[in-house]
Amino acid sequence: QKEVEQNSGPLSVPEGAIASLNCTYSDRGSQSFFWYRQYSGKSPELIMFIYSNGDKEDGRFTAQLNKASQYVSLLIRDSQPSDSATYLCAVKENAGNMLTFGGGTRLMVKP
């Protein structure tokens, strides 16, 4: 069974700090990796996706992928209270079209 693991948190960071969210996955055949943000009572919304090893930056967000270690992370620079949410890591294998989600990490950014 394919597994995607995240620390459930909460991860608490002060406003302006860097938040680091981590995710490991079990299926070496995984090819696509996604980070979703979910506010309480709302549906998940896509923040970033990454396909290749290395870093991918988009504004205050950076996704990092290391396929050899089966590890993907999301860095949020200059964290804001509005970033407080649950962050879901999702993984897709190349042959299939289904996303497997981790349990999510709850982030709290304190003013």
Contact mark string toward other proteins, 25..44, x via CB under 8 A? -------x-x-------xxx
Quote the tokens at residue 4: 């995607």
Nearest alpha-carbon partner for 85 in 98, 93, 76, 94: 76
- Give yes or no for residue 85 binding other proteins (CB under 8 A): no
Helices (H) and strands (E) in the chain, counts: 0, 11
Q: CB 79 → other proteins: shortest distance, Å?
A: 23
Closest CA to 103 of 6, 21, 11, 38: 6
Q: Which stretch binds other proteins (CB under 8 A): 10-18, 57-65, 70-78, 87-95?
A: 87-95
Least distance from C-beta 93 to other proteins, angstroms?
Answer: 11
Residue 82 interacting with other proteins (CB under 8 A): no
Tell whether omega for the bond before 111 is within 30 degrees of 0, i.e. cis: no
Type of residue numbered 44: P
The footprint of other proteins (CB under 8 A) covers: 1, 4, 6, 8, 32, 34, 42-46, 49, 88, 90, 92, 97-104
